[in-house]
């Protein structure tokens, strides 16, 4: 359950309304709520999943696999709905993210760096998918972190080889998409291959998206989605970012053989193995933002959902967010007071100082500097997983008085921003938002309120 510990909502009704709106967003993307919303049982033993009917009378086995940080709560939600119909299941979660389940085995594994436990869990999933028939239903539970947590390199390539690959490519500046193209072609499950292993069973992927825009082939490296990349692309990445051949020979050899046709490439759109696959985004940033917008409208705010694709350096994005607040305050454009603008996505922070903070706290702190003196403006930025950067806060909440409040206590907001020390600053001025772990992750929400 969402529980805003701080700031004290009762102290200030403006803040209370902001937290009310953000709380509505978190509630809408709670994995249990979200799965219940999408997966609905009916009296005549039919399971409706996002509008598609599955006749449970004709289903022999229900197998659950998957991975991601929200895996445990997703597994609980599925158990609650299907209970004794579940035949078996294995879901990999990050160390410390486990929870009690009945029929689905929740296994802890390494994230963000994959480890042997992750490999073992993934191999157990593959075992469950052996000998599937068209009468089986495979439920795949996917959430953020699933790419590292569902790791099973092809034969001949070790986990150590994979780590060297990642190190080499990162060091030479390869973009993450390029790295993932190579990884998909060294995996037994990524890039739609998990769905191919499950074939000819019906496959339903319930996906909690932590990727801006929710592209199916990117979230957790798309284990049940068609993959647009090919062995030749993977080789192109190596040619460009590993000209010296530092990547292990096992990997180069596998890709070379892949190009020569020794192995099947990842399944493409239209592949027969993906014919009976339903990929369902059960929750993503758009759902959170829409729920926030709905709640803000209920509360009487003139509301605009501006984007769910927000990216950029947090402190610079804050300038734009502040510019939106200033216009509403000055002219009532694009919507008059009381107004609420919502922006979803995920910003980044280039670390220069050695302070403590997260992208949402940094965005809020920079916004505080930009809106100082402005009355009746509140800007909040929230990590929906409840953990903003390496802190116990979910984000920040600031207004036109925040900077002055700090000054009166002897703290400089500008200095805090210079040192990437938003956490301590916001803590001092009562500007942290704390939710505790939310068991979900659909990136961040930024809300601008002008009362």
Give the separation between CA 96 and CA 224, rounded to whole angstroms.
26
Among 120, 276, 313, 401, binds a copy of itself (CB under 8 A): 313
Inter-axis angle of helices 359-370 and 314-331, to 10 degrees?
Answer: 40
320 touches a copy of itself by CB under 8 A: yes
Among 307, 411, 428, 451, binds a copy of itself (CB under 8 A): 307
Smallest separation, CB 366 to a copy of itself (Å): 9
Residue 444, classed as helix, strand or coil, is strand
Structure tokens belonging to residue 357 = 């903070």
Structure tokens belonging to residue 163 = 């780590």
324 touches a copy of itself by CB under 8 A: yes
Q: What is the DSSP string of 61-124?
A: EEEEEEESTTHHHHHHHHHHHHGGGEEEEEEEEETT-----SSEEEEEE-SSS--HHHHHHHHH
Restricting to residues 361-400, name those near a copy of itself by CB under 8 A. 370
How many residues in the shown chain lie near a copy of itself by CB under 8 A?
29
Torsional class of 436: left (φ above 0), alpha (ψ -120 to 50), beta (otherwise):
left
Nearer residue to a copy of itself within complex by CB, 99 or 323: 323
Inter-axis angle of helices 231-241 and 249-259, to 10 degrees?
Answer: 140
Would you report the helix, strand and coil content of the chain in percent, each value rounded to 5?
40, 20, 40
Nearer residue to a copy of itself within complex by CB, 313 or 401: 313
Nearer residue to a copy of itself within complex by CB, 41 or 312: 312
Which of these ranges, 42-50, 148-156, 264-272, 314-322, lies near a copy of itself under the rule CB under 8 A?
A: 314-322
Smallest separation, CB 409 to a copy of itself (Å): 19
Per-position x/- string for 197-216, each x denoting binding to a copy of itself as judged by CB under 8 A, each - no binding? ----------------x---
Nearer residue to a copy of itself within complex by CB, 264 or 348: 348
Smallest separation, CB 207 to a copy of itself (Å): 17
Which of these ranges, 29-37, 46-54, 126-134, 323-331, lies near a copy of itself under the rule CB under 8 A?
A: 323-331
Smallest separation, CB 315 to a copy of itself (Å): 8
Smallest separation, CB 374 to a copy of itself (Å): 11
CA angle 424, 429, 435 (to 5 degrees): 70
Identify whether the C-beta of residue 130 lies closer than 8 Å to the C-beta of residue 75: no
Residue of 220, 394, 422 lying closest to 318 (CA atoms): 422
319 touches a copy of itself by CB under 8 A: yes
Restricting to residues 329-348, name those near a copy of itself by CB under 8 A. 330-331, 333-334, 343, 345
Structure tokens belonging to residue 222 = 């798309």
Give the separation between CA 207 and CA 216, rounded to whole angstroms.
9
Among 312, 392, 428, 436, binds a copy of itself (CB under 8 A): 312
Which of these ranges, 76-84, 266-274, 313-321, 392-400, lies near a copy of itself under the rule CB under 8 A?
A: 313-321
Identify whether the C-beta of residue 190 lies closer than 8 Å to the C-beta of residue 183: yes
Restricting to residues 286-305, name those near a copy of itself by CB under 8 A. 286, 304-305
Among 326, 337, 404, 405, binds a copy of itself (CB under 8 A): 326
Which of these ranges, 77-85, 117-125, 307-315, 430-438, lies near a copy of itself under the rule CB under 8 A?
A: 307-315
Nearer residue to a copy of itself within complex by CB, 24 or 203: 24
User: How many H helices and E strands in the chain?
Assistant: 16, 15
Buried b / exposed e over 416-451, threshold 16 CB at 10 Å, is bbebbbbbbbbbebebbbbbeebbbbbbbbbbbbbb
Identify whether the C-beta of residue 339 lies closer than 8 Å to the C-beta of residue 297: no
Which of these ranges, 5-13, 193-201, 309-317, 419-427, lies near a copy of itself under the rule CB under 8 A?
A: 309-317
Strands 444-450 and 339-345: antiparallel
* Site residues (vs a copy of itself, CB under 8 A): 213, 286, 304-313, 316-320, 322-324, 326-327, 330-331, 333-334, 343, 345, 370
């Amino acid at each position: 359950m969402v529980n805003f510990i701080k700031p004290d909502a009762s102290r200030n009704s403006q803040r209370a309304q902001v937290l009310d709106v953000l709380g509505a967003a978190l509630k809408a993307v709670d994995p249990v709520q979200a799965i219940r919303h999408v997966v609905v049982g009916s009296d005549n033993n039919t399971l409706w999943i996002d509008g598609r009917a599955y006749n449970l009378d004709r289903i022999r086995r229900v197998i659950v696999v998957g991975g991601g940080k929200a895996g445990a709560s997703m597994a609980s939600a599925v158990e609650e709905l299907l209970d004794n119909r579940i035949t078996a299941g294995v879901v990999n979660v990050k160390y410390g993210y486990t929870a009690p389940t009945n029929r689905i085995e929740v296994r802890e594994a390494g994230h963000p760096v994959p480890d042997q436990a992750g490999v073992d869990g993934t191999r157990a999933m593959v075992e469950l998918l052996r000998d599937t028939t068209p009468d089986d239903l495979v439920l795949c539970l996917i959430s953020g972190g699933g790419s590292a947590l569902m790791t099973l390199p092809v034969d001949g390539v070790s986990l150590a080889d994979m780590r060297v690959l990642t190190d080499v490519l990162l060091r030479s500046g390869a973009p993450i998409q390029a790295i993932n193209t190579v990884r998909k072609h060294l995996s037994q499950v990524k890039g739609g291959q998990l769905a191919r292993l499950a074939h000819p069973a019906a496959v339903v992927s319930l996906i909690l998206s932590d990727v801006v825009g929710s592209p199916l082939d990117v979230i957790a490296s798309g284990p049940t989605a068609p993959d647009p990349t090919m062995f030749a692309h993977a080789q192109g990445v190596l040619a460009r970012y590993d000209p010296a051949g530092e990547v292990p020979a096992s990997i180069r050899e596998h890709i070379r053989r892949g190009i020569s046709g020794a192995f099947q490439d990842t399944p493409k759109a239209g592949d027969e193995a993906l014919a009976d696959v339903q990929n369902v985004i059960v929750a993503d940033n758009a759902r959170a933002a829409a729920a926030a917008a709905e709640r803000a409208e209920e509360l009487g705010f003139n509301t605009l959902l501006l984007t769910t694709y927000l990216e950029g350096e947090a402190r610079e994005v804050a300038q734009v967010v502040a510019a939106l607040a200033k216009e509403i305050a000055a002219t009532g454009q694009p919507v008059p007071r009381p107004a609420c603008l919502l922006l979803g996505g995920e910003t980044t922070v280039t670390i220069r100082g050695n302070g403590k903070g997260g992208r949402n706290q940094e965005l809020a702190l920079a916004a505080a500097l930009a809106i100082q003196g402005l009355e009746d403006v509140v800007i909040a930025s929230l990590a929906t997983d409840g953990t903003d950067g390496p802190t116990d806060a979910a984000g920040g909440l600031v207004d036109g008085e925040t900077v002055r409040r700090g000054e009166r206590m002897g703290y400089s907001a500008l200095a805090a921003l210079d040192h990437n020390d938003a956490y301590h600053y916001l803590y001092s001025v009562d500007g942290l938002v704390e939710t505790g772990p939310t068991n979900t992750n659909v990136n961040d929400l930024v809300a601008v309120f002008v009362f």
